[in-house]
Amino acid sequence: MKSFEFSGSIVALVTPFKNEAGKSIVDEKKLIELVNWHIDNGTEGISPCGTTGESPTLSYEEHERVIEIVISATKGRLPVIAGTGSNSTEEAIYLTKKAKQAGADASLQVSPYYNRPTQEGLFLHFKSIADTVDIPIILYNIAGRTGVNIEPETIARLAKEVKNIIGVKEASGSLDQMARIKALCPDSFILLSGDDSLTLPLLSIGGKGVISVAANIVPKDIKKLCESFNKGDIKTAQAMHYKLLPLIKALFIETNPVPLKTAMGILGLCLPDLRLPLCAMSGKNLQVLKDTLKSYGLV
């Protein structure tokens, strides 16, 4: 397997659906098209089957299939970080094994949701997965969805004691927490933003990039922000940050990925189809989204 750096603009890829005989199915052809579109537009990594990919509504078979398709379509041209987390350690191990067999370059492991483990429970959960499946693992910390925060001290303990836990996607919304992680962990530990609006601040404290929602529709702009910063062109990076902010705000006006999928439908990138319990946007918010896309110059 080719060795990749996990940095820059990594897209948190949507899962495109279509209706067939009254049933929602994964649009495999469109999924392949999206992967190639991202490669053509400079995206530096793809992360399928995460929050934005509506993983909670995918069956095991669909989950495995989406990861397989993305890996096959990339043809080794950029890294695939497969979302394989669960609130069941056994299920997470199962999904991670399948992703490794398919050729994933890394696994994205969300903190267990709903059952709210202690910090010791979190440590044992992630360690068990990493010890069982020898694949690079990136933690995914998003307490707003899971109900539990992986504390910086726990992340540092995992980084130091488990060789294949190599980084974290930080979506706590707290730059203070991100800084504490960076301070406590080894220099080689990869810090990625899970909040599009905090990408530039995170880069400024030593982060490596972002696993981005907005990159689904503006991949070149997310890459330009990261690339400009890394080249020392802070002025351009700041300009991109402020350009992106209104769009990012609109993409989170309702629960992700509802506005994103709606925007992708408007832009003709894929059907706006969602799976319940996610549903269509309210009329008022839809108008805000349309106005923002127009102001940005996308329509």
Active site residues: 140, 169
Q: What single DSSP character describes residue 163?
A: T
Angle of helix 283-296 relative to helix 234-251, nearest 10 degrees, comes to 160
Long-range interactions of 173-180: CB distance < 8 A, separation 24+: 173/144, 173/198, 175/201, 175/202, 175/205, 177/149, 177/152, 178/202, 178/205, 178/207, 179/205, 180/152
Query: Which residues, 6 or more positions from 212, have their beta carbon under 8 angstroms from its beta carbon?
Result: 9, 10, 11, 12, 193, 196, 199, 222
Angle of helix 60-74 relative to helix 89-102, nearest 10 degrees, comes to 30
Structure tokens, 257: 């990925």
Number of residues in the chain:
299
108 bridge partner residues? 83, 138
Angle of helix 28-40 relative to helix 60-74, nearest 10 degrees, comes to 40
Question: Which stretch of DSSP H or E encloses residue 259?
Answer: helix 258-266
Question: What is the C-alpha separation between 54 and 25, in angstroms, rounded?
Answer: 13
Among residues 131, 134, 194, the alpha carbon closest in space to that of 158 is found at: 131
Cβ atoms within 10 Å of 209's Cβ, excluding its own: 28
